[in-house]
A and B are shown apart, each in its own frame.
Chain A
Amino acid sequence: MSATTRPPTERVAFRALARADALANRLYGWRANPLYQSGTIVIALLLVILVTGLWLILFYRVGAPWASVERITADRWVGNWMRGMHRYASDAAVLATIVHAFRMYAQGRSWGPRALAWVTGVGLLVLLMLCGWTGYVMVWDTFGQTLAREGARMLDALPVLSEPTSRAFTGERPLPPAFFFLNLFAHIGIPLALGIGLWLHISRVARPALLPPKPLGYGVVGALLAISLAIPITMLPEASPFTIPATVPVDLFFGFWIPFARRMSGGGALLAAAGAVALLAAVPLLTRRRGDRAAPPSTVDEEICVGCEQCAADCPYDAIAMITRAPGGRSELVARVDPARCVSCGICAGSCAPMGVGPPGRTGRDQLAEVRAFIESPERRAGEHVVVACDRGASRWGDAIRGEGAALLPVDCAGNLHTSVVELLVRNGSAGVLVVACPPRDCWNREGPRWLLERMYHDREAELQARVDRSRVRVAYANAAEGADAVAALRDFVADTRPLGAVAADPGEVGAECDVELTGPRE
């Protein structure tokens, strides 16, 4: 679907995201771009939190919470450092989760079959906040007390507890160790729920990336280590029901809501929090494309399908299963698309050598028909370069590309691109074909550039045929804000292909060859 049919807020968010991505690509390279890896960074941070938390729990005492944490904090080189890592990693996890959610929203990846991932993601954020909440209450300093009292105020608005929870913090009697034990239980139990939520979160994607690339992972942990040592954790005064602190150092990532909540009644604050969570969870409904704006799921032409299983292997969303074909068919297996899981990414169209699968209008055969019309159009000049670019990426810089004398062939996603399209372009007199894909971790369809490279250069099924001169084909990466890079890649490509001279048109048959032996005749 083209970007013009996207809601305005999404378009604005996408423009901001593309610019931020472009800056991060320049500084870190696309492989280590932290914005691309926000989801895996959260998991890496959760691991840091888990390890440091396990160490901290050894020294925590529910009978003397503040005193035990003070002892840990006083140990400058181990305890304080561990607390710092634990705390800063929690803060960074909240930040990375927000970046991740913003990315999914801006890229329109929040609705349809992706709704489960979005809703579970919202649940994970809520659990993370609750986990941080219980963690700060564990310390039982002035900030922990503030959080506990605000939480109790909200709980008391629910008509389910006959005894107000807030009474626990009035000073009528000392807080019992059972309170801290329950809090500790919740602080340990919530991460277990986080694990289940995470499993659900990634349950609809194939080959989920769980950890960031090593250099980025080391960088994140190193940065945490550095700030833990450079900005050590300090103890706040112990919570007292008889003294109200004038100021409390608040962790903004977990306590940003406190100033707002304090201006409301407990019920109002609870309603506001519930409303915010409900609004976030409703994003899939609010952003859902309806009618013609919703790209239809892939379909399989069973007369063409040879049962090679490549589309099922390549599908980034595990939406394609191979089922046994009725006896007498041309192959033992046939592909079947689950429309409830298919996001219409079209990766299967690029992976099917005989062009029998893909979203309606975007199968390999549809692409060939489109490129034939492109070749025969009167604007085409013999021997010109062709840039094939993603709709959501470099094709936005069509004027700049055309200004370099090249023709632009926009495609929905470079991962959809059937290699026969490239072959047809080269064999019909193009001086060269430059495929400008989005950077791999930026692909809206997860694995488009990865499979594209495999098909072009590593003989992955539906591969670019050996008869195609590879020196006239190149893959480059550029996102929607990297027009200059796309143009630079085009200039380099033109310079490199110029010595090759003109190419003679060879309008023979094109098409990828299947590596599957058929068991029967074509139906």
Chain B
Amino acid sequence: MTAPPPTPPRTSPGLRSRIAGAALALAAAVGIAHGSHVPLTLEDGTGAVLRVAFAARPERIEVCRTLTPAELEALPAHMRQPVSCEGTTAQYELEVRRDGEVLSRERLRGGGMRSDRQLYVFHETAIPAGRSTIEVRLARLDTAATAVAAVTAEQPPADSARTRRHDGEVPPLLELRESVTLGAREVVLVTYDGATRTLRAVRPTP
């Protein structure tokens, strides 16, 4: 004897429940649509931004010494170079001023674990909107002599130190001084132009 299964309760909500259910579904849908466009205030709306961003190849410094005959003998035949040069890259100091006031000052090294990649700079500083005089100065700190001192502290004495220039390396000193007028929430970008090997300011085009 097999009877049909009983009608489970509440499988068919009444009309009022259906209307309430439809209204709730609609409200949820509208809630989703509104949740999709919630205004978020990112800035207070009155200031401007000074952005310093660039990549530049640092100057390479090499410390060289002549290998002894015993050291040469210990090397495989195809690697016997009479002069061995250990390389490093120069350090720089970046200073950013606005109207004479120092906004930031930091020491820079090349990127990567061995600091042998490009210098990467990316700073954003809030400044008041209106007219400002921006000064950015990038100066090399290391010289060949300081590099020799650093290297010979732990290694055999070096014969010489030299800086080897490549095309595109950043000059020992870069300076930019420029007056800019910025509106609220506008950005002035100070970047390095590899072609002219100078710093330049880029402002929004109207």
User: Which residues does A use to contact B, with CB under 8 Å?
Assistant: 25-31, 34, 87-88, 91-92, 95, 146, 162-164, 166-167, 170-172, 219, 223-224, 226-227, 230-231, 234, 240-253, 255, 258-259, 262, 439, 453, 456-459, 466, 469-471, 474-478, 485, 488-489
A241 to B51, CA, bound (A): 10
Cβ-defined contact, A242 with B118, below 8 A: no
Cβ-defined contact, B4 with A242, below 8 A: no
Q: How far is the CB of A290 from chain B (nearest CB, A)?
A: 37
The one of B5, B29, B36 that contacts A457, using a Cβ cutoff of 8 Å: B5
User: Which residues does B use to contact A, with CB under 8 Å?
Assistant: 1-6, 8-13, 17-18, 20-21, 24-26, 28-30, 32-45, 49, 51, 53-55, 111-112, 117-118, 120, 122, 185-187, 189, 191, 202-205
- Besides the known contacts A87-B36, A172-B53, A252-B38, 12 further A-B residue pairs in the complex with CB atoms under 8 A apart: A29-B11, A31-B11, A91-B36, A164-B120, A164-B122, A172-B191, A172-B202, A223-B26, A251-B35, A439-B8, A457-B4, A459-B2
Given known contacts A27-B24, A31-B11, A92-B32, A248 and B39 CB-to-CB distance under 8 angstroms: yes
Cβ-defined contact, A91 with B11, below 8 A: no
Cβ-defined contact, A27 with B29, below 8 A: no
The one of B10, B25, B120, B187 that contacts A167, using a Cβ cutoff of 8 Å: B120
Cβ-defined contact, B118 with A172, below 8 A: no
Q: How far is the CB of A493 from chain B (nearest CB, A)?
A: 9
Cβ-defined contact, A475 with B36, below 8 A: no
Cβ of A163: which chain B residues have Cβ within 8 Å of it? 55, 111, 117-118, 120
Cβ-defined contact, B38 with A250, below 8 A: yes
Q: How far is the CB of B129 from chain A (nearest CB, A)?
A: 11
Cβ-defined contact, B9 with A249, below 8 A: no
A226 to B27, CA, bound (A): 12
A224 to B21, CA, bound (A): 16
Given known contacts A248-B39, A250-B39, A29 and B187 CB-to-CB distance under 8 angstroms: no
A466 to B37, CA, bound (A): 61
A139 to B84, CA, bound (A): 54
The residue of chain B having its C-beta at the shortest distance from the C-beta of A475 within the complex is B6
Cβ-defined contact, A170 with B122, below 8 A: yes
Query: Among B9, B26, B37, B55, which residue has the most Cβ atoms of chain A within 10 A?
Result: B9
Cβ-defined contact, B13 with A162, below 8 A: no
A489 to B12, CA, bound (A): 15
Cβ-defined contact, B41 with A246, below 8 A: yes
Cβ-defined contact, B29 with A227, below 8 A: yes
Cβ-defined contact, B189 with A170, below 8 A: yes
The one of A25, A241, A459, A471 that contacts B10, using a Cβ cutoff of 8 Å: A25
Cβ-defined contact, A171 with B189, below 8 A: yes
Q: How far is the CB of A475 from chain B (nearest CB, A)?
A: 6
Query: Among B30, B39, B40, which residue has the most Cβ atoms of chain A within 10 A?
Result: B40
Cβ-defined contact, A471 with B122, below 8 A: no
Cβ of B5: which chain A residues have Cβ within 8 Å of it? 453, 456-458, 475
Cβ of A457: which chain B residues have Cβ within 8 Å of it? 2-5
Q: How far is the CB of A284 from chain B (nearest CB, A)?
A: 29
A146 to B1, CA, bound (A): 68
Given known contacts A227-B29, A227-B30, A489-B9, A171 and B43 CB-to-CB distance under 8 angstroms: no
Cβ of A259: which chain B residues have Cβ within 8 Å of it? 40
Q: How far is the CB of B120 from chain A (nearest CB, A)?
A: 5
Cβ of A234: which chain B residues have Cβ within 8 Å of it? 37
A253 to B41, CA, bound (A): 17
A321 to B13, CA, bound (A): 41
The residue of chain B having its C-beta at the shortest distance from the C-beta of A258 within the complex is B40
- List, sorted by A's number, 28 A–B pairs whose CB atoms are closer than 8 Å: A26-B10, A26-B17, A27-B17, A28-B21, A29-B11, A30-B8, A88-B32, A88-B33, A91-B36, A162-B120, A164-B122, A171-B51, A171-B187, A172-B189, A231-B33, A243-B187, A243-B204, A245-B185, A247-B42, A249-B38, A249-B39, A251-B36, A252-B36, A255-B40, A475-B5, A475-B8, A476-B8, A477-B10
A258 to B49, CA, bound (A): 20
Given known contacts A28-B21, A474-B6, A240 and B204 CB-to-CB distance under 8 angstroms: yes
A367 to B28, CA, bound (A): 45
Cβ-defined contact, B204 with A242, below 8 A: yes
Cβ of A242: which chain B residues have Cβ within 8 Å of it? 186-187, 189, 202-205
The residue of chain A having its C-beta at the shortest distance from the C-beta of B25 within the complex is A223
Cβ-defined contact, A262 with B42, below 8 A: yes
Cβ-defined contact, B54 with A172, below 8 A: yes
Cβ-defined contact, A170 with B11, below 8 A: no
Cβ of A471: which chain B residues have Cβ within 8 Å of it? 3
A162 to B117, CA, bound (A): 7
A223 to B13, CA, bound (A): 19
Given known contacts A167-B122, A247-B41, A241 and B189 CB-to-CB distance under 8 angstroms: yes
Query: Among B24, B43, B122, B202, which residue has the most Cβ atoms of chain A within 10 A?
Result: B122
Given known contacts A87-B36, A92-B32, A171 and B202 CB-to-CB distance under 8 angstroms: yes
The residue of chain A having its C-beta at the shortest distance from the C-beta of B116 within the complex is A162
Q: How far is the CB of B58 from chain A (nearest CB, A)?
A: 13
Cβ-defined contact, A470 with B186, below 8 A: no
Cβ-defined contact, B55 with A167, below 8 A: yes
Q: How far is the CB of A513 from chain B (nearest CB, A)?
A: 15
Query: Among B2, B4, B29, B117, which residue has the most Cβ atoms of chain A within 10 A?
Result: B29
A253 to B28, CA, bound (A): 14
Cβ-defined contact, B3 with A244, below 8 A: no
The residue of chain A having its C-beta at the shortest distance from the C-beta of B47 within the complex is A244
Cβ-defined contact, B36 with A244, below 8 A: no
A164 to B26, CA, bound (A): 45
Cβ of B205: which chain A residues have Cβ within 8 Å of it? 242
Cβ-defined contact, A28 with B39, below 8 A: no
Cβ-defined contact, A167 with B53, below 8 A: yes
